[in-house]
Amino acid sequence: MAFGIRFKRMQFEAFSHPKARDLSVLADDIFLHIPGCITAVFDGATDATGRKIDGVSVGRLAALAAARATASLPHGARDWPAQRILTFLSDAIARDVPNQSGTAPASTTAMVAFERPDTIRMVGIGDTGYRVNGGPVQITELAPDFASIPARVALFQHLLSQDIDTEKSEKISRHYMGLGLDMAVRDDVIPADICNAIIVHAVNASQAPDAPTQIEAFLRSGLQNQYRYSNSDHPLGYGVLNGYAPNRNFIIDQNLPRDTLKTLEVFSDGYLLAPETVSLQAWEQTHQQLELDDPHKTNLVLACKGSTKSSFFDDRTIVILKFL
């Protein structure tokens, strides 16, 4: 859906599309806009095992819980310490989304823009990004991605070399990156020597080559166990809202002077490339061109998964504030 509402001092525009090309499955992305107060994007984490509660994905439930909690913040919260704000949102996930013993907790990223008299304060955690005045993108890369992306690309390319078509290779590589390379070996999808070679490649390609044991354990067990590193000081540690205390080392907290702002864009990681210009149309055109040029995200832009005939590689959401 897309819409724009003109206010005295600001124009708000937003667009959001789920992974499902036919819109048959709700997105895990949620955006929130309260004029004059708050604008935010939450990207719920897709569960590797497809877990749902009452028919709704746990990632979407986490994003919804965080959005509702953000909307309920008192006016003075815009001046709270960032960790207090994010703990409030994380506590809402623990309260609203039932956890299941032995499974990954429901989780979401957050990027919240608080309007203050002289500044826009950005508070966030995870890999939801933002851009000021069409300039450089501000986004936090997640440490597990540095290992899982090269491993997934290598697995995809190996499958192609076995004369498996691209659609099937995409689905297989996505499945076994989620459940682990050891399971791919057990299911005779790849032999043990190829599994080992993929892991060595991922270690060398990662930004944590001094943690080979940790990377190997992660890739063998799959993305389903990535949550074990959330908000931790592990070499693959990363920040997220998941019902537990957010790690201050992964928190974003920046004040943007209002008198220098022309535009502010907040977007989920379903947009892998930012356009040169600032508009919904430009973001969508850039996305569509990437889908044409590199649908499996193995060449121009590397990602944890690619697109299929039925699904884009990820949900995508863009919110644009234009200051008038």
Q: What are the tens digits of pLDDT across the range 133-174?
A: 999 999 999 999 999 999 999 999 999 999 999 999 999 999
Q: Name residues whose C-beta falls within 8 Å of residue 134's C-beta, 6 or more positions apart in sequence.
A: 262, 263, 265, 276, 277, 278
Residue 10, pLDDT score: 84
Return left, alpha or beta for 134; rule: phi > 0 is left, psi -120 to 50 is alpha, else beta.
left
Per-domain boundaries in the chain: 2-140+239-295+310-323, 144-229
pLDDT band, residue 99 (cuts 50/70/90): confident
pLDDT band, residue 102 (cuts 50/70/90): low
The yes-or-no verdict on residue 209 having pLDDT over 90 is: no
Q: How far apart are the first and last CA of the chain?
A: 24
pLDDT band, residue 1 (cuts 50/70/90): very low
The yes-or-no verdict on residue 186 having pLDDT over 60 is: yes
The yes-or-no verdict on residue 179 having pLDDT over 90 is: yes
Element (H, E) at 121: strand 119-125
CA distances from 70 to 64, 114, 153 (A): 10, 10, 37
Say if residues 265 and 38 touch (Cβ distance below 8 Å): no
pLDDT band, residue 2 (cuts 50/70/90): very low
Look up the pTM and report it.
0.94
Identify the weakest region by mean pLDDT among 22-26, 33-37, 63-67, 103-107: 103-107
Residue 7, pLDDT score: 40
Pick the CATH number of 2-140+239-295+310-323 from 3.90.1150.10, 3.40.50.300, 1.20.810.10, 3.60.40.10: 3.60.40.10
